[in-house]
Amino acid sequence: MFMRRCIELAALGIESVSPNPLVGALVVSDGKIVGEGYHMKFGEAHAEVNAIKNVLESNADGPALLKRSTMYVSLEPCSHFGKTPPCADLIINSNIPRIVIGCRDPFPHVNGNGITRLRDAGVEVIEGILENECYTLNKRFFTRIQKQRPYIILKWAQTKDGFFAPENRSQKWITSSNSRQLVHRWRSEEDAVLIGKNTALADNPRLNVREWKGKSPIRIIVDRNLELSSSLNIFDQSQDTIIFNALRTELIGRTKYLELEDFDNLLPQLICYQLYLMDIQSVIVEGGATVLNLFINAGLWDEARVFTGKEEWESGIIAPVLEGKPLHTITVGSDELNTWQNES
């Protein structure tokens, strides 16, 4: 029960902590929560710091209360100096006798060192509580650390008979307003959104979150020969924008042009590695069909979210196809939403 509350708290930071992990923490005494906190923003206080601060500010006997409490935390406390001091040292110096941890932190500067430091100081450590749930919570962070690339989410909409877009590449809505609002929410939760040149031309998208309250993602466009007009919405300077191309590297306002050496081989891998170097932890690939199929054929994706509308077009650009069965199926407005997980 207490670890589930840690996970709930941690999730509140999804729009603001990347590239750090999501972490929630509780201080429990006599079976009651006496303090709680979560990592609220990258570079600021960690969850453990906020939970302990909450105890001290809310209880006159805070220091004495900590000495007879148990701390619950969804991720192993850090043991190194980064933008903030080590949380393991704070727990030790606060004389908290017992800590319950959801899962270990694979970051090389932590990865068991926080647990070792706590145990060496005499703190009782219990680990592996709701471990899978805690791991899933930080799937983006763990993917970046362990695979040296962002967590990749594929997203597209298709008609009931399997078409992605009209053959003339004109803009035509497939999904309901409910689904479009959900997509804007998803964008607020990820670091970046990626599309190809043809999608930019056909839809002239803004790639922001105007139908949801939250941060807009970094826009990423694949435009090999820099053919897109500067009058398009993606060049409006309202968001950081990256243009992967084969011609030049240059920064103009909030638009960064990044030259890739080879567009004909391993393009998705090259893009992902560049984004990893830039600490971009998660990307939604929204199209078009060619770009989506590049990632699918490379096996370079973690999750796919596919809307199926009620219309049948009988012709058009064929939607990408995933093997196997979806993990989840739900109804969103008048649409069906299927979610796949890449297990390979």
Up-side HSE of residue 13: CA atoms within 13 Å toward CB? 28
289 is in an annotated binding site: no
DSSP class of residue 63 equals H
319 is in an annotated binding site: no
- As given in the structure block, the two tokens for residue 90 are 């704070």
Please say whether the beta carbons of 312 and 159 come within 8 A. yes
228 is in an annotated binding site: no
Q: How far is Cα 40 from Cα 17, in angstroms, rounded to an integer? A: 6
Catalytic residues: 48
173 is in an annotated binding site: yes
* 338 Cβ contact list (under 8 Å, min separation 6): 305, 306, 308, 326, 328, 329
340 is in an annotated binding site: no
87 is in an annotated binding site: yes
Q: For the residues of 102-130, what is the DSSP string, one character each? A: EE---STTTTTHHHHHHHHTT-EEEE-TT
Q: How far is Cα 201 from Cα 211, in angstroms, rounded to an integer? A: 22
> Three-class SS of residue 15?
coil
103 is in an annotated binding site: no
DSSP class of residue 316 equals S
187 is in an annotated binding site: yes
46 is in an annotated binding site: yes
Is the preceding peptide bond at 21 cis, omega within 30 degrees of 0? Answer: no
210 is in an annotated binding site: yes
* H/E element, 141: helix 139-147
Q: Which residues of 36-60 are buried (b: 16+ CB within 10 A; e: fewer)?
A: bbbbeeeeebbbbbbbbebbbeebe
184 is in an annotated binding site: no
Residue list, annotated binding site for NADP(+): 157, 173, 199
Residue list, annotated binding site for substrate: 187, 203, 207, 210, 286
Residue list, annotated binding site for Zn(2+): 46, 78, 87
Residue list, annotated binding site: 46, 78, 87, 157, 173, 187, 199, 203, 207, 210, 286
